[in-house]
């Protein structure tokens, strides 16, 4: 059950990121769902978001009865491109939902300006970006609400858990009531609600993690720096670059294999044989996922290319310098053995573009 530990975690997390309120829930997906509800997003509304994210981002939009509208990403940050977001926003657009992917903050200056011009609410998916900053301000505190996940792979965990951050008293009150069956106090109901509560057991884990979060993030940043130094100059590989205004917390250290999907997959196979873990986040942009699929004449070429090229290398706080050096050696080994992969970016496959145009499936 939810008790004093949950309250303590909420207070601690609010001061860590610098928000007025924090409301803990059972997981990050429900945190997104609840943040959208609290901002009045529901049936018939459109929510502009990125196609290059974990499926939970779009599932939460669908779960409140709204429809995701995708805008392509910025090739350098993998995050929603503010100009493209503004371009697809229309009359029925209720919210923009940027995702601070891999721990990299989105360009919140441009996004907040774009949203303000059209009076659109911003809800941030900071599920991978606890403590990341844009212009010195923590992500998750720019929009009307910001959302975090405490899943075990995230920068901090509660086992399973989620958090909504907001400076808005009404949004906070809505979230607190809704997560507890709409109750103001026992058996006094202000509204419809559900059980989205976090338990004190999970919050206790979170409190121990929160004390170490700054240190975890520091270790991730140090590991990223070591990888970047060790992988500098590998032809065919594009390393992550952090914009000057951003503080990245490296939930993932994601490189691009410029030769494309085949070479990327071969590198991953090579690493697997050498006992080096790696991951592809994400192999399929969300506009191609069957239950979400949306019709898009030109597709989302930047997101599609990213899905072909990305590979995330080990970067978590538990790694030693020796292990990171080993990762880099094994990556270099692959490009030496496969000169065909050590090339610049290839032109897009024409058949991919054609398939997109022929795609007559109706979107949701
Ligand atoms: C992890 C994650 C979520 C969902 O969080 P859960 O706690 O797993 O429900 C949402 N969005 C993004 C971008 C995530 O990485």
Binning pLDDT at 50, 70 and 90, where does residue 356 land? very low
More confident residue, 294 or 197: 197
| pLDDT score at 347 | 66
The sign of the dihedral angle between the CA atoms of 58, 13, 142, 175 is: positive
pLDDT > 90 in the chain, percent: 90
Res 111 pLDDT > 80: yes
Average pLDDT over residues 294-300: 80
Residue with CA nearest ligand 1 atom 5: 28
pLDDT > 70 in the chain, percent: 95
| pLDDT score at 350 | 58
In short, whether 140's Cβ falls inside 6 Å of ligand 1 is no
Q: For residue range 64-94, what is the model confidence (pLDDT) as tens digits?
A: 999 999 999 999 999 999 999 999 998 899 9
The whole-angstrom separation of Cα 139 and Cα 249 is 11
Bond into 118 cis (ω within 30)? no
Contacts of 181 (CB under 8 A, 6+ apart): 189, 193, 194, 195
In short, whether 27's Cβ falls inside 6 Å of ligand 1 is yes
Q: For residue range 268-286, what is the model confidence (pLDDT) as tens digits?
A: 999 999 999 999 999 999 9
More confident residue, 7 or 299: 7
Closest approach atom of ligand 1 to CA 29: 9
Return the best residue to mutate from 52, 54, 206 for the ligand 1 pocket (most ligand atoms within 8 A of CB).
54
In short, whether 147's Cβ falls inside 6 Å of ligand 1 is no
Using the CB atoms, write b or e for 224-252: b if 16+ within 10 Å. Answer: bebbbebbeebebbbbbebeeebbbbbbb
Res 51 pLDDT > 70: yes
Average pLDDT over residues 218-239: 97
In short, whether 61's Cβ falls inside 6 Å of ligand 1 is no
Average pLDDT over residues 328-333: 98
Residue with CA nearest ligand 1 atom 2: 127
Average pLDDT over residues 226-230: 98
In short, whether 149's Cβ falls inside 6 Å of ligand 1 is yes
| pLDDT score at 297 | 73
The whole-angstrom separation of Cα 73 and Cα 127 is 18
| pLDDT score at 363 | 35
Average pLDDT over residues 140-158: 98
> Any bridge partners for residue 96, and if so which?
48, 122
The mean pLDDT of the chain is 94
Determine the distance separating the centroid of ligand 1 and the alpha carbon of 357, expressed in angstroms: 31
Closest approach atom of ligand 1 to CA 160: 7
In short, whether 93's Cβ falls inside 6 Å of ligand 1 is no
Average pLDDT over residues 193-218: 98
Determine the distance separating the centroid of ligand 1 and the alpha carbon of 255, expressed in angstroms: 21
Q: Which stretch of 31-40, 84-93, 215-224 has the lowest confidence by average pLDDT?
A: 84-93
Res 296 pLDDT > 90: no
Closest approach atom of ligand 1 to CA 251: 15
Return the best residue to mutate from 53, 61, 125 for the ligand 1 pocket (most ligand atoms within 8 A of CB).
125
Q: Which stretch of 177-186, 212-221, 287-296 has the lowest confidence by average pLDDT?
A: 287-296
């Amino acid at each position: 059950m939810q008790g004093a530990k949950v309250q303590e975690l909420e207070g601690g997390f609010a001061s860590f990121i610098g928000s007025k309120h924090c409301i803990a829930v059972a997981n990050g997906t429900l945190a997104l769902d609840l943040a959208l509800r609290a901002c009045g997003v529901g049936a018939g509304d459109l929510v502009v978001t990125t196609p290059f994210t974990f499926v939970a981002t779009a599932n939460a939009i669908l779960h409140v009865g709204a429809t995701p509208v995708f805008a392509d990403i910025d090739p350098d940050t993998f995050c929603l491109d503010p100009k493209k977001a503004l371009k697809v926003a229309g009359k029925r657009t209720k919210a923009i939902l940027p995702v601070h992917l891999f721990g990299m903050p989105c360009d919140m200056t441009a996004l907040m300006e774009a949203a303000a011009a059209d009076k659109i609410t911003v809800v941030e998916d900071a599920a991978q970006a606890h403590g990341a900053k844009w212009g010195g301000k923590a992500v998750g505190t720019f929009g009307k609400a910001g959302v975090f996940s405490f899943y075990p792979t995230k920068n901090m965990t509660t086992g399973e858990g989620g958090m909504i951050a907001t400076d808005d008293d009404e949004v906070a009150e809505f979230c607190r009531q809704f997560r507890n069956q709409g109750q103001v106090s026992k058996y006094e109901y202000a509204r419809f609600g559900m059980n989205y509560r976090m338990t004190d057991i999970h919050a206790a884990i979170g409190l121990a993690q929160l004390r170490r979060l700054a240190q975890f993030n520091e270790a991730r940043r140090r590991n990223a720096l070591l990888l970047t130094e060790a992988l500098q100059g590998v032809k065919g590989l594009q390393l992550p670059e952090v914009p000057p205004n951003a503080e990245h917390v490296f939930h993932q250290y994601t490189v691009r294999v410029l030769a494309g999907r085949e070479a990327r997959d071969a590198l991953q196979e090579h690493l697997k044989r050498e006992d080096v873990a790696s991951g592809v986040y994400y192999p399929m942009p969300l506009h191609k996922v069957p239950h979400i699929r949306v019709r898009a004449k030109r597709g989302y070429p930047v997101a599609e290319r990213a899905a072909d090229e990305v590979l995330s290398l080990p970067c978590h706080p538990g790694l030693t310098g020796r292990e990171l050096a080993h990762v880099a050696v094994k990556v270099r080994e692959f490009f030496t053995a496969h000169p065909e992969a050590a090339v610049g970016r290839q032109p897009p496959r024409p058949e991919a573009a054609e398939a997109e145009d022929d795609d007559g499936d109706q979107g949701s």
